Amino acid sequence: MYSGTIVPLVTPLAESGAVSEQSVRRLVESLRHHVTALMPALSTGEGWKLSERQWHDVVAYSVRHSGGLPVLAGAQAPTTEEVVERARSARALGAAAVAVTTPFKPGLSQEEIYDHYRTLREAVPIPLFVYNEKALSGNQIELETLLRICRLPDVVGIKESSGSAEFTRALVAADPGAPVFEGWENLLYEAAGVGGFIGPLANLEPYLCNEMLATPSEELQAEINAVCERYGVFRDDWYAHVKKELHRRGLIESPATVDEVG
């Protein structure tokens, strides 16, 4: 069962727009002893913006240089059909699971949301992380729907990014049958009881994330909030700021984002 800090990797790009394998290797090596799994091509990895080649390469390089850590591939695509195809590709590349949002279609009914995950589970034999968020997809998964999804076979985790500590606590209390990972750094203390953390700060300060999970306190939360402000983690283009800091540290060859290099 997954637990602890899982890192949603940035996608290091060369100025040509290609994924930099050596940057992926250096980044993973810097994190390997502080995290329990790698999650490439999710929101912090600009997963919804990646070309098919970029997505393929960042997942493949993450698997190649994982050092035995499980790779949980983000599959952020607008439709169920596209997510199914990415899940098939992720399985072929050696990913241990896929992390999936709802389709990018605001206003979906809860039944349509459930059917999205059910279809994926029936189509591809790969374990599933449910990514509960609204900013990208425009949909919020209600508690009862999320619990129902978790009863599907091989649901192995929930990235809980609703932004509501109250919802997160209710989800944990309902015992969904899969570990719940807080997705917001500023809610870690309020969401005490979660099984782990998945958020952009793990690219930069994974040991601080681990400390917060092991011994949560208001003082540590204040430190995390201050660090996130300093690195720009709470900004709308947080992934760009995380890349700038990783580039400053010499871990990735360029701070370029997908929008900057295509």
Q: Which residues are catalytic?
A: 131, 159
Q: What DSSP state is assigned to residue 245? A: H
pLDDT of residue 38: 99
The verdict on whether residue 149 carries a ligand-binding annotation is: no
For residue 157, give the 3-state DSSP assignment: strand
Longest dimension (CA), the chain: 48
Contact (Cβ atoms closer than 8 angstroms) between residue 17 and residue 54: yes
Backbone angles phi, psi at 112, to 5 degrees: -65, -40
Domain ranges for the chain, please list them. Answer: 4-261
Query: What distance in Å separates the CA atoms of residue 146 and residue 134, rounded to the nearest whole number?
Result: 14
The verdict on whether residue 224 carries a ligand-binding annotation is: no
CA contacts within 13 A on the Cβ side of 133: 21
What are residue 130's DSSP bridge partners? 100, 158
pLDDT of residue 192: 82
Please tell me the CATH code under which domain 4-261 is placed: 3.20.20.70
- Intervals of the chain under pLDDT 50: none
> pTM value?
0.97
